[in-house]
Chains A and B, each alone.
Chain A
Amino acid sequence: GAVVSQHPSRVICKSGTSVKIECRSLDFQATTMFWYRQFPKQSLMLMATSNEGSKATYEQGVEKDKFLINHASLTLSTLTVTSAHPEDSSFYICSARYFGTGRDNEQFFGPGTRLTVL
């Protein structure tokens, strides 16, 4: 159990277009999801916290108008990269915090989405 999926796994888009990435918790509910960005050979950097039914909170230096987050249900959060540029090319990873008892704040990570902006 405790599987998190991301769609698409990889996407290539043209500069100036918008791209939506989905993060789903498949077999559990998640009131909170997190979005990370990982550049090649670097660590994961937390971008924002996505809360079901409320606005996302962004880490310092992350443009909220650039990276739109919507957490519409207890199993789905979406990250939209608006007006993408080549410098937005990266690996985006989400994690979902288990909602309920018995899991002790455990978070589960999706497999990631590789975004390439031409």
Chain B
Amino acid sequence: AQTVTQSQPEMSVQEAETVTLSCTYDTSESDYYLFWYKQPPSRQMILVIRQEAYKQQNATENRFSVNFQKAAKSFSLKISDSQLGDAAMYFCASMNRDDKIIFGKGTRLHILP
């Protein structure tokens, strides 16, 4: 079974600063994907970044990057130069070969102007 744990229900960061959202996961499979999704007030799920487990290099997408620690089963998201539009709910998620995406409980990110 897969589990995803996000231990930070809420976080705040000053605009233009950097923030890191934490996530740990557990899976018995060796082949899996990890994701960070953003859910703004519209509730549309937006893929922020994805990481294939077999890749050692951390994924990056512009201001978003991850720290993937496979042995520790840790997958944190770093947002650099935070912007007001980054305010949203962020979900960490994992997907095994069965394509089922399992989500963590989420972290609500507030951006302080």
Highest count of chain B CB atoms <10 Å: which of A42, A44, A97, A106? A44
Alpha-carbon distance A38/B101, docked complex (angstroms): 14
Alpha-carbon distance A32/B98, docked complex (angstroms): 11
Alpha-carbon distance A38/B80, docked complex (angstroms): 29
Listed stretches B16-24, B42-50, B59-67, B69-77; interface member:
B42-50
Q: Are A111 and B42 in contact (CB under 8 A)?
A: yes
Q: Verify if A107 is at the interface (C-beta below 8 Å from B).
A: yes
Residue of A whose beta carbon sits closest to that of B95: A105
* Total cross-chain contacts (CB, 8 A): 42
What interface size band does chain A fall in?
Answer: 10 to 19
How many residues of chain B are within 8 Å of chain A by beta carbon?
17
Residue of A whose beta carbon sits closest to that of B52: A104
Alpha-carbon distance A97/B98, docked complex (angstroms): 11
Q: Are A112 and B44 in contact (CB under 8 A)?
A: yes
Given contacts A43-B104, A44-B91, A105-B33, contact A112 B43 (CB under 8 A): yes
Alpha-carbon distance A112/B50, docked complex (angstroms): 22
Q: Which residues of B approach A to under 8 Å, CB–CB?
A: 33, 42-45, 47, 50, 91, 95, 99-106
Q: Which residues of A approach B to under 8 Å, CB–CB?
A: 32, 34, 38, 42-46, 49, 91, 93, 95, 97, 105-107, 109, 111-112
